[in-house]
Amino acid sequence: MRKLVFVFLLTFATISAFAQRQGGNMTPEQRAENQTKNLAENLNLSEDQKKQVYNLSLARAQKMQELREKSNGDRSEMRASMETFNNEIAKVLTVEQQEKYKTMQEDRRGNRSERQPRN
């Protein structure tokens, strides 16, 4: 259970970092393609996994775009969407891929915190 929660948090951090680097003008399709390409290269996804990851990423990107457009600063729905996405991604990856994915998330989280200015 702890591993699953950890995977969810890492996925959230990765997607957040990925979205910040790619800019806000991308379509949901572009976001899904970029995320799928990144994960496929780093995790050696099979063709079936690539399709599943793309479909999950596209659905999430569309949902997040919708939530951002109607958002009043309340991020609870966005967090719920991310948690659902993380649950589904975990089902697609093998145990080995999940471990590598965790490492990727930790690296990105570390890089992001180094870039943020301190107050």
pLDDT reported for residue 3: 73
- Identify which of 42, 60, 61, 39 has the alpha carbon closest to the alpha carbon of residue 50: 39
Distance (Å) of CA 76 to CA 15, 64, 68, 69, 73: 16, 12, 12, 14, 9
Non-local (6+) Cβ contacts of 74 within 8 A are none
pLDDT by 10-residue block (mean), the chain, 119 residues: 68 66 78 94 95 96 88 80 84 92 79 60
Q: pTM of the full predicted structure? A: 0.69
Give Cα 47 distance to the centre of its chain: 19
DSSP secondary structure, the chain, as one string? -HHHHHHHHHHHHHHHHHHHHH-S---HHHHHHHHHHHHHHHHT--HHHHHHHHHHHHHHHHHHHHHHHH-SS--HHHHHHHHHHHHHHHHHS-HHHHHHHHHHHHHHHHHHHHHSPP-
Residue-wise pLDDT tens digits, 93-110: 999 998 898 788 778 778
